[in-house]
Each structure stands twice: as C-alpha cells, then as structure tokens.
Amino acid sequence: MLLNEHDKNMKTLVNLLIFLLLPIQALSALEISGYVGVEDLVFTQNPLDNRQHNNYVSGVIEPEIYHEWDDGTQNFAFVPFFRYSQHDSRRTHFDIRELNWMKIAESWELRVGIREIFWGVTESQHLVNIINQTDLVENMDTEDKLGQPMINLALINDWGTLDLFILPGFRERTFPGVEGRMRILPIDIDNARFEKNGFERHMAYAFRWSQTLGDWDIGFSHFYGTNRDPLFLLDSDRAGNLRIIPFYEMVNQTGLDVQVTKDAWLWKLEAIFRSSKTFNYFASTFGFEYTFFNIRETGLDIGVLAEYLYDSRGRNIQTLFEDDFFVALRFALNDTQSTEILAGIVLDRTTSAKFYNIEASRRFGDSWKLEIEARFLAGIPKDDPAYMLRDDDHIRMELSYHF
C-alpha cells in the first residue's frame, strides 16, 4: 500500500535524523504525541446568506507534551490546539485544551490547571456534562470542548470517589463567524451578556460523587456558576441590523447519571434539574445500547442504540430536544484498521423533524486516520430552533497523521 511505503520512508528518515537529534531527545524526557490533519467541510445546499460558502478547507494541529516523574505519582501535560480555516475567521482558533499538573496519592488525587472533564453515559446528548464549555465552532456535534481552568481534588474511598471542583475563569462558547455556516444570523459574541459580572461571572463550583456497585455505575453531581449553555437574545444593533446575542445566566444544576451493564445490554440514564432566573426545568435522556458481538465469527459487532430525550420546557426556542427519539446502529469491524461506523437519527415526536447523523472512521497504514461525518436535516418546522440550519446539510472529512 502506498501509505505503508510512506510510513517506511518516514521511518528511514527518522532513523537518519536520530543521530542528529539524539542530544535534543536526551535533554528532554518529555513524551510528545498528537496529530495534524486536513479537513474539508462541504455543504450540499447553497447558503441562505450570500456571505457564506459551500466549501471550507482547514488544517488542525493538536500536539501533546507529557512528562511524569516521582515514580509516576506526579505528571504534567500540555495540549495546545490550533485550527486554521478558510473563509471563517471565527473557526480559525487557538485553545489550550490542557495545561495541568497532577499529584497522585493512595486516597486522593489533586489536579491543578486547564483540563477537560467528561461526565455521563448516554450517546445522543450529554446533559450532565457541564464542566467545560463547548467548542461549537470546532464541530457542531458539541463533543469538542474548550480547556477549563480548575482545581480538582478527588477523594478516593471505598464509598466512592468524591471530586471537588473550583473552576475559575469562565469560557464563552465559540460560534461560526459571518462567513461561516450553521447559523442564521452571525452571533454577536463581542456583545455577550452575563447575569453577573466580574469575580462571580468567572467562578464556578462543582462536586461529583461516583461509584461502581456491581453492574451499576452511578454518578451524582451538582454545579453552581455561570451557565455553559447561553440563552439567545434577538436584538438589533445601532444600524438596525438584527443580531443574536448570547446571554449567560447563573445556574444551579443537579445531575444524575446511571449505567447498568447486564450481559450485552447497557441501560443508561442521565437526568438534570437546572434552575436559573429564566427557567427551572428538568431534562433527561434515557435508553439502552444492545450489542450483537462477533457476528458469525467475523469480528463484526453491531450495536443497537435507542434513547428518549425529554425537556420539561417543551417546545421552546431555546431547546432542540424536548420530546425526541434517538435510534442508531453502531458497526465495529474490529479489523486491523479499526473501522467503525455510527449511523443515527433523532426524530422529533411532535414536529416529525429528522436529524440524520453518520460518522465513520478508519485507520490507514499505522499512523493515518480518515474520519467522515455526514449530517442532514429534514422536515424542520419554521418555529423550531433547528430551522436556521435547514440548508446546512454537510459532509465533513478529516485526514489526520498521528505521531
């Protein structure tokens, strides 16, 4: 294979360079890894706004520098991130995903610095996952997060792990710019509003207790601080142009996440109660994942996923999933190239709006990876917040080199 040839050539080149760079390597006991990639984002329909484009090429790099010492009980990690995008100046962005130090003891762990935390069990959305801000401009699937400064003390006992968080430094959500897609109006992030300003805006506090009890994995959490999810206010600027302004309230959010693992069944539940000045509401995602393993001894696994998404605010301009079903199939070939496909639909029960999502990935050679994502919307009514994305069906392809 061509890529294998390339890998061999790279190895030869690397072996030659070892002699030249050996002293550098010896000086730094740092472990360096990461990836570089090129991405093409293709929109299949013409834009609603003639300042937008149909094709965006971009490049990304995310190296990781890691060092551990003291017999592995202390470590340091630095993960900067940069994407350069054609056309959309907001999508050209830099972030520090991680810059932290960790100290590990038998009954506690202290983690200080910029980090990313994931809480939760469901697949269609991540309600309880509140610590980090979403890097929406990076990918509209909301899976990418901005680095969050924190002091996190984990107390580890037989009764479970209790994580305590102090989160100084609020991060605003990223949005596409004027020339970017997946927006109806440019979001005026420069005029974002906040319920609290100064110190209070920037501080948040949280805890999470988590424990495994046999087949049950349980997490219970509470968060107080500036909401990571902004509300959107429609406004007009001095020249009379309409604009959307994000508004960040203070919220209290209590969350529960439970997964019960029985044989090939994963039963999942996430539930939150969130209160702010504007809303007091309950939201939940629950469902299952069942996997048929090693079908006909081919190594192929097929998973069937079904979840129900509920939001007590009902049909509302601020929420996308208030009474929706999610069904999906996950194919894992378990081959040498780790080929995986996830194909799903979110169906709005009241409006019959449909959101199709297909994600596929495959390794080439030993170091290259190709990811393809396709997202399509159908039947979106005019009063649904997703209506602004009705002409933003797209395919995203990223080829990355991992080192």
Chain residues binding other proteins by CB under 8 A are 1, 4, 8, 10-11, 13-15, 17-18, 21, 24-25, 31-36, 61, 63, 66, 68, 72, 75, 84, 102, 104, 106-107, 109, 116-118, 120-121, 143, 154, 156, 161, 210, 212, 217, 259, 261, 263-266, 291, 293-294, 297, 299, 301, 334-338, 363, 366-367, 369, 400-403
Q: How many helices (H) and strands (E) does the chain have?
A: 2, 21
Q: Which is nearer to other proteins, 14 or 234 (CB)?
A: 14
CB of 24 to other proteins, least distance (A): 7
CB of 191 to other proteins, least distance (A): 30
DSSP 8-state assignment for residue 134: B
Residue 10 phi, psi (nearest 5): -60, -45
370 burial (CB, 10 Å; 0-12 / 13-18 / 19+) is middle
Q: Which is nearer to other proteins, 349 or 402 (CB)?
A: 402
CB of 205 to other proteins, least distance (A): 20
Residue 103 phi, psi (nearest 5): -120, 130
Q: Which is nearer to other proteins, 144 or 249 (CB)?
A: 144
Q: Which is nearer to other proteins, 210 or 318 (CB)?
A: 210
- The residue assigned the tokens 């297909």 is 358
In order of 139, 259, 386, 393, the CA distances from 355 in angstroms are: 16, 25, 9, 10
CA separation for the pair 139, 22 (Å, rounded): 39
**Of 307, 266, 271, 263, which is closest to residue 289 (Cα–Cα)?**
266
**Of 68, 141, 145, which is closest to residue 114 (Cα–Cα)?**
145
CB of 263 to other proteins, least distance (A): 5
CB of 21 to other proteins, least distance (A): 6
Q: Which is nearer to other proteins, 299 or 314 (CB)?
A: 299
Q: Which is nearer to other proteins, 221 or 319 (CB)?
A: 221
Q: Which is nearer to other proteins, 205 or 403 (CB)?
A: 403
Segments in 237-346 forming alpha helices (H): none
CB of 391 to other proteins, least distance (A): 29
**Strands 160-168 and 148-157: what pairing?**
antiparallel
CB of 29 to other proteins, least distance (A): 10
Cα Rg of the chain, angstroms: 23
